[in-house]
């Protein structure tokens, strides 16, 4: 059989499949009407698992392909049912109310207290000055303290780093995001240039140990290995610089910003010691309440997933179907003692994607997921600089 004949055969099969698919979607609409009348949930994981097992057993060597096909069809069916049943109405109304009063970050932060990790001269300090140029900042040594200050009302906004282009995610911060579920109202990405600094009585030859935050140490790992330096971890780069200036030990160097070195009277022994010249860190701004700001271009969500075949694939596929570009996915253990009966761990997922909730399709998807995903939180729609 020629390629032309094979393609003609495929077209004939597709011509039979499409009407059947349309019929299946119409049945899904009838199912939605019945569920609405009888107050039944849209997602039935047991029923979907039974369908997937059945089609896999009948598809012989195409069992995996058949399961993927049906996983997609069931996701489409659920999406249609969600639309008909107006899923996620409480969240929809909250978002729509916030959209009716658009604000800018400078407007809402005017005169407010901003929490920043570390100390003066830290990279977080630089990010905070970028987003809040005319504010007095409240410095806290640990990330946990920033979240606690925000939770208690001691401050109105908190700024924290979430990921670096070479060292990856700041996992402690993601754990805190998933624990507190504060709203994200802004973000900025800064180029990070590290220097090696020390007290004036030190030189490159006297340095034996370098101190800094674990992220900074990871970002400069090549220089550390090359010079056989020992390392000591601190809660923040600027905190390490401040303590080094107090100890006055010529064997101790600090990896920090040039601004931190100048702030604490240290001498810069080497500049740009990071592994990559294009070394960037992303920072986010947190607030207790939902605030949807002007020019928002990034959305963040978090949720748990049901332990069924293809559940993650099904969720990610729905973003693709709506033309949404995922920019970040992070999974973290839900808690230290969240172990399932089969010995596995429970996981929370954090997602960033480009978009704006003013788009009806994007809002529909978020509301659908809020009804379907365990532990779902809409974390915000914000502008990233």
Domain residue extents for the chain: 1-85, 195-271
Strand pairing category for 267-271 and 195-198: antiparallel
pLDDT at residue 269, as a whole number: 95
Strand pairing category for 168-169 and 183-191: unpaired
pLDDT at residue 363, as a whole number: 94
CA distance 244 to 198: 7
Task: Judge contact between 322 and 365, C-beta under 8 A.
Answer: yes
Cα atoms in the Cβ-side hemisphere of radius 13 Å centred on 322: 26
Task: Judge contact between 147 and 176, C-beta under 8 A.
Answer: yes
Q: Using alpha carbons, list the distances in angstroms from residue 117 to 25, 175, 331.
A: 51, 16, 23
**DSSP at 196:** E
Architecture of domain 1-85: Up-down Bundle (1.20)
Short-list 178, 86, 100, CA closest to 367: 86
pLDDT at residue 307, as a whole number: 63
pLDDT at residue 347, as a whole number: 82
CA distance 217 to 253: 12
Instruction: Work out the angle at residue 275's Cα, subtended by the Cα atoms of residues 273 and 277, and round it to the nearest 5 degrees.
Output: 80
316-364 pLDDT, tens digit each: 888 988 889 999 999 888 764 554 555 556 789 999 999 999 999 999 9
CATH number for 195-271 (one of 3.40.190.10, 3.40.30.10, 3.10.129.10, 1.10.760.10): it is: 3.40.190.10
Q: Please, which residues have CB within 8 angstroms of residue 279's CB and are 6 or more apart in sequence?
A: 164, 165, 166, 191, 192, 193, 194, 219
pLDDT at residue 283, as a whole number: 97
14-29 pLDDT, tens digit each: 999 999 999 999 999 9
Structure tokens at 189: 């990405």
Strand pairing category for 183-191 and 157-164: unpaired
CA distance 219 to 30: 56
Structure tokens at 254: 């600090």
pLDDT at residue 169, as a whole number: 93
* Domains 1-85 and 195-271 are alike in CATH topology: no
Neighbours of 163 (CB within 10 A): 21
**DSSP at 103:** B
Q: Please, which residues have CB within 8 angstroms of residue 72's CB and are 6 or more apart in sequence?
A: 314, 317
**DSSP at 101:** S
Q: Which residues of the chain have pLDDT under 50?
A: 336, 339
CA distance 52 to 66: 8
Strand pairing category for 209-212 and 168-169: unpaired
pLDDT at residue 36, as a whole number: 87
Structure tokens at 316: 């990610």
pLDDT at residue 356, as a whole number: 94
Task: Judge contact between 264 and 74, C-beta under 8 A.
Answer: no
Task: Judge contact between 151 and 289, C-beta under 8 A.
Answer: no
Task: Judge contact between 112 and 157, C-beta under 8 A.
Answer: yes
């Amino acid at each position: 059989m020629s390629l032309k004949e094979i393609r003609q055969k495929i077209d004939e099969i597709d011509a039979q499949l499409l009407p059947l698919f349309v019929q299946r979607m119409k049945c899904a609409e009838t199912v939605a009407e019945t569920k609405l009348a009888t107050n039944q949930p849209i997602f039935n994981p047991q029923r979907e698992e039974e369908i997937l097992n059945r089609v896999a057993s009948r598809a012989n060597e195409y069992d995996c392909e058949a399961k993927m096909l049906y996983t997609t069809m069931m996701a489409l069916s659920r999406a249609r049912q969600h639309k008909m049943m107006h899923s996620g109405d409480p969240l929809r109304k909250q978002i729509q109310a916030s959209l009716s009063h658009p604000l800018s970050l400078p407007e809402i932060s005017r005169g407010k207290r901003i929490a920043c990790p570390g100390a003066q001269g830290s990279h977080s300090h630089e990010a905070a000055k970028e987003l809040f140029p005319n504010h007095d900042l409240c410095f806290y040594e640990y990330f946990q303290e920033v979240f606690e200050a925000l939770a208690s009302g001691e401050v109105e906004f908190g700024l924290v780093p979430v990921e670096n282009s070479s060292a990856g995610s700041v996992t402690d911060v993601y754990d805190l995001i998933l624990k507190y579920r504060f709203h994200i109202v802004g973000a900025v990405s800064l180029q990070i240039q590290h220097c090696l600094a020390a007290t004036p009585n030190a030189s490159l030859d006297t340095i034996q140990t370098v101190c800094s935050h674990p992220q900074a140490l990871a970002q400069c790992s090549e220089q550390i290995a090359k010079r056989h330096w020992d390392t000591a971890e601190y809660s923040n780069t600027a905190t390490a610089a401040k303590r080094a200036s107090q100890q006055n030990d010529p064997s101790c160097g600090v990896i920090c910003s040039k601004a931190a070195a100048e702030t604490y009277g240290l001498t810069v022994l080497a500049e740009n010691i990071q592994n990559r010249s294009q070394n960037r860190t992303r920072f986010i701004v947190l607030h207790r309440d939902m605030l949807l700001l002007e020019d928002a271009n990034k959305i963040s969500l978090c949720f748990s997933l049901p332990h069924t075949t293809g559940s993650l694939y099904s969720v990610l596929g729905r973003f693709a179907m709506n033309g949404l570009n995922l920019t970040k996915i992070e999974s973290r253990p839900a808690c230290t003692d969240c172990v399932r009966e089969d010995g596995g761990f429970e996981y929370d997922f954090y997602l960033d994607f480009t978009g704006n909730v003013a788009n009806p399709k994007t809002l529909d998807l978020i509301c659908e997921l809020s009804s379907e995903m365990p532990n779902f939180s809409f974390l915000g729609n914000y502008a990233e600089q």
